[in-house]
Copies of this chain bind each other. A is one copy, B any other.
Amino acid sequence: METGKYRSSLQEKLARFEQACRKAGLKLTHQRLAVYRELAAATDHPSAEMLHCRLKSSLPTISLDTVYRTLTTLEQYGLVRKVETIESQARYEAEMHGHHHLICSRCKKIIDFHWPDFDEIPLPEGLGDFGRIRNRSVVLSGICRRCLEKKADA
Task: Write the residues of chain A forming the contact surface with B, with a CB cutoff of 8 angstroms.
Answer: 82-86, 90, 102, 104-105, 111, 113-118, 121-124, 126-127, 129-148
**Can you identify 23 A-B contacts, CB atoms within 8 angstroms?**
A82-B86, A83-B86, A102-B127, A102-B130, A104-B130, A104-B131, A105-B134, A115-B123, A115-B124, A117-B121, A117-B122, A118-B118, A118-B121, A121-B121, A130-B145, A131-B147, A131-B148, A134-B142, A135-B140, A136-B140, A137-B138, A137-B140, A137-B141
Which residue of B102, B122, B126 contacts A133 across the interface (Cβ within 8 Å)? Answer: B102
> Contacts of A124 on B, CB cut-off 8 Å?
113-117
Q: Which chain B residues border A126 with CB–CB below 8 Å? A: 113
Residue in contact with A139 in the complex, picked from B82, B84, B116, CB distance below 8 Å? B84
> What is the oligomeric copy number?
2
A142's closest neighbor in chain B, by CB?
B133
Cβ 8 A contact of A90, one of B86, B111, B138, B140: B86
Asked if B130 and A144 make an inter-chain contact with CB atoms under 8 angstroms apart, the answer reads: yes
Check if B114 sits within 8 Å of A131, measured CB to CB. Answer: no
- Bound together, the chains give a CA A143 to CA B130 distance in angstroms of 8
Closest B-chain residue to A106, C-beta based?
B131
